[in-house]
Chains A and B, each alone.
Chain A
């Protein structure tokens, strides 16, 4: 076995060009697999983060009625304490629960700014600036100024600022509807600008301090939602019962809905299914490239007919002849897969820093998804692609190897 391996290895160098082409074919397929996996993983990762940061938190608490009315930005169904506990006590209690790291209140409402041409609609979020910075990646995207702290100040996206023709440092007057349905206006200083690939952040959102929003809307000590941040987002479901238990104990089980980010998001579930489907695409890709190896081996078997006859005369059994050719095929597979996995890993490592832009493909699709994907660099992807490259190619090498083993020694040895 060991000496057959040795011969198979040396045989790879007999026709270097042909061997290199075969190796490259495999390397290419394996590299694509690593890249595709990194990309999809990055996409899923990114989507998860976006949903968690700007929608669901790890666990989200809202009024049960609010779920249907969320799109209307209703201010009638708020989070405003539970039982005889006030809003702040409720936040503090939740924060003290096992595994809960942070409680983030958000007060979402509709607002508009009138310019000379039009009324620009926007989505206002009353937030605790410091908490948002800690939880999301807003810090990176704040290209000018700072996040909101307190008082009459706002932060907006680049595109939104362009729409209303304002820049950081200037004042802006916004109109909105209060909780009592009265139409009012207020003036704010623009203290920061956000530049993001995400349309939501870039052209829709306006951040203002939570207490300011509460005062303007007459919703002191209320928010439209509470986001809970746990120690580990993957274990969000495990922390959920304690939250539900707390709400129940205080008589809030009927009023509030507490949901983990993992439930009820069909887009995330779709992405996970697609990952499985892609595995079959990868398999097909490797099968295609292994055709090159099969072809090489078929040529090799033809060329070495006499040699096979000699080996068989010397007492090599059919199984050993077959093994010899399979080893040669799998040696190419190992080398190709190794370099392919390395190249794919390097590519992902690079792209995980600078990103992979395919905004063109997503121009008109309105999902919470970043048009620049940062593929993830994971050893796991490299190992996966390496394994699939080696296994599939070695298995397909059985076809030409069997052909070699079937050769009749007297036929093979015949002198021309």
Chain B
């Protein structure tokens, strides 16, 4: 059973009078638990594709089925609900809230889902921070953390609600290669431990090596899709 099914997905941006086709017919299925990268040169449509999958934007044509439900007809409020409960995001520039501590930044994602008690929340956030290796730094603000540490906080924030899918658009673009490696290893570890589906984009060949499925995209079309073990 596929977690995501894309059928004939197209996205055309309108820039004034010029139509910019960013995705031109994408067909793709992603299974639950996959650790997938979408790679391609800059401008190939990676971000656009992740935005579509992440329910952040609407397609121009085609269909998106997420967890057996078509999301084509959802309005912006319903899309926000889907994101809130089912999706985790990791961003290139971390996007942590600077006035909150690492702990609070992670907690933020489940404060939106009011199903945990305060104590339960606390325990979950702490154990996850420990898992990403930041147990000691829970009380630090983002400006007291290194880039790699910030991205670890972001990973914890994406995972705290136990989402079905985590999307990461160029998560290592702002990190040096050593730190990139650590971050990717952490993502890989979380994937195998929690069986969370990961899709991340990159244009860095070193990063691609970590993926177990490689999808290559060029000019808004999938040109290659291979799994490896």
Quick check: which of A87-95, A309-317, A331-339 contacts chain B, the rest being far away? Answer: A309-317
In the assembled complex, the Cα of A11 lies from the Cα of B97 at a distance in Å of 9
Listed A/B pairs (7) with beta-carbon separation below 8 Å: A7-B100, A10-B100, A306-B95, A309-B95, A310-B89, A313-B83, A314-B89
Contacts of B83 in A (CB 8 A): 313-315
B84 at the interface (CB under 8 A from A): yes
CB A57 to nearest CB in B, in angstroms, measures 64
A315 and B84 contact, CB distance less than 8 A = yes
Q: Chain A binding site: helix, strand, loop or mixed by DSSP?
A: helix
Count residues of chain B with CB under 8 A from any CB of chain A. Answer: 28
CB B113 to nearest CB in A, in angstroms, measures 8
B80 at the interface (CB under 8 A from A): yes
Chain B interface residues toward A at CB < 8 A? 47, 51, 54, 56-57, 76-77, 80-81, 83-85, 87, 89, 91-93, 95, 97-100, 108-109, 111-112, 157, 170
A3 and B85 contact, CB distance less than 8 A = no
Contacts of B80 in A (CB 8 A): 312, 315-318
- 13 additional A-B residue pairs with CB within 8 Å, beyond A306-B93, A415-B92: A3-B108, A7-B108, A10-B99, A306-B95, A314-B83, A314-B84, A314-B89, A314-B108, A314-B109, A315-B84, A316-B80, A317-B77, A318-B76
A409 and B56 contact, CB distance less than 8 A = yes
In the assembled complex, the Cα of A318 lies from the Cα of B76 at a distance in Å of 9
Q: Which 5 A-B pairs have the closest CB atoms?
A: A315-B84, A310-B95, A10-B99, A315-B83, A3-B111
In the assembled complex, the Cα of A307 lies from the Cα of B99 at a distance in Å of 12
In the assembled complex, the Cα of A413 lies from the Cα of B54 at a distance in Å of 13
A184 at the interface (CB under 8 A from B): no
Contacts of B157 in A (CB 8 A): 314
Contacts of B91 in A (CB 8 A): 310, 313, 413
In the assembled complex, the Cα of A367 lies from the Cα of B40 at a distance in Å of 87
Listed residue (B57, B98, B112) with the most chain A CB atoms within 10 angstroms of its CB = B112
CB A261 to nearest CB in B, in angstroms, measures 59
Which residues of A298-324 have CB atoms within 8 Å of chain B's CB atoms?
306-307, 309-310, 312-318
A14 at the interface (CB under 8 A from B): yes
Contacts of B108 in A (CB 8 A): 3, 7, 314
Q: Across the two chains, which residue of chain B brings its CB closest to A415? A: B92
The answer to whether residues A14 and B99 also contact, given A310-B89, A413-B91, A415-B92 and a CB cut-off of 8 A, is yes
Q: Across the two chains, which residue of chain B brings its CB closest to A306? A: B95
Contacts of B54 in A (CB 8 A): 313
A136 at the interface (CB under 8 A from B): no
CB A312 to nearest CB in B, in angstroms, measures 7
Candidates A312, A315, A316, A409; contact of B85 at CB < 8 Å: A315
In the assembled complex, the Cα of A410 lies from the Cα of B87 at a distance in Å of 15
In the assembled complex, the Cα of A315 lies from the Cα of B83 at a distance in Å of 5
A218 at the interface (CB under 8 A from B): no
In the assembled complex, the Cα of A316 lies from the Cα of B81 at a distance in Å of 8
The answer to whether residues A313 and B98 also contact, given A318-B76, A409-B56, A410-B56 and a CB cut-off of 8 A, is no
